[in-house]
Amino acid sequence: MTESKTQTHNQRLGRWGEQAARDYLTAMGMEIVASNVRTAYGEIDVLARQGDQLIFCEVKTRRTATFGHPEVAVTPKKQEHMRNAALDYLQTHDIMDSAWRIDVLAIEKDPNDQKNTVKVTWFQNALSG
């Protein structure tokens, strides 16, 4: 498989996972504010609101357990990116005093499941400080 086909497949899987995350968050009573928000530090997958609190969501999707659960992909470097992207968004929109947190949603899809069952694990307040 060529690299471009792999990237296309990964991008497709990522978009699918982000939609599954938005559907899940909506079902949990959250308002989706935006998706794929660009900042100086990279992209915020999903920006949601719960009451007065903004939630910056990182979505990790896997279709097999070959490389472990999706959340293991949230490395210290990725955590730093997430924190910086959230802070940049808050500063850019002049809402530094807003209540906010960073969550991680791990989306797992079993490629052998004909029912397309999705497993979502929601790590609220995934990052501190």
pLDDT at 1 (0 to 100)? 45
| pTM for this prediction | 0.82
Distance CA 2, CA 33 (A): 36
Residue (of 99, 23, 24) closest to 56 by Cα position: 99
For 42-99, what is each residue's pLDDT tens digit?
999 999 999 999 999 999 887 666 566 667 666 778 888 899 999 999 999 999 999 9
Confidence of residue 17 (pLDDT cuts 50, 70, 90): confident
pLDDT at 80 (0 to 100)? 87
Helix (H) or strand (E) holding 12: helix 3-27
pLDDT at 67 (0 to 100)? 61
Question: What letters, b where the CB count within 10 A reaches 16 and e where it falls short, cover 14-26?
Answer: bebbbbbbbebbe
Domains of the chain: 3-123 (3.40.1350.10)
**What is the average per-residue pLDDT within 1-15?**
66
